[in-house]
Amino acid sequence: MTKKEKKSFNQSMAEWKLFLYNPTTGEFLGRSAKSWGSLCVVGK
């Protein structure tokens, strides 16, 4: 997609939904469960 092409509202929402939860990879907000666990335990 070039800079001049604008995404539709539906395309943008679909990308946000996929970012919030990706059922293919099991990621939530772009992180795996292991990554979230490490983040919560270590705090970094």
Two tokens, residue 26: 């099991």
38 within some domain: yes
33 within some domain: yes
User: Considering its fold, how many domains does the chain have in total?
Assistant: 1
- pTM metric for this prediction: 0.61
2 within some domain: no
25 within some domain: yes
23 within some domain: yes
pLDDT at site 43:
65
4 within some domain: no
pLDDT at site 6:
87
pLDDT at site 3:
65
pLDDT tens-place string over residues 8-41: 999 999 999 999 999 999 999 999 988 988 888 8
The answer for residues whose C-beta is within 8 angstroms of residue 28's C-beta and 6 or more apart is 20, 21, 22, 36
**Calpha distance 29→8 (Å, rounded):** 22
22 within some domain: yes
Give backbone dihedrals phi and psi of 22, rounded to 5 degrees, phi first. -105, 105
Give residue 35's domain range. 9-42
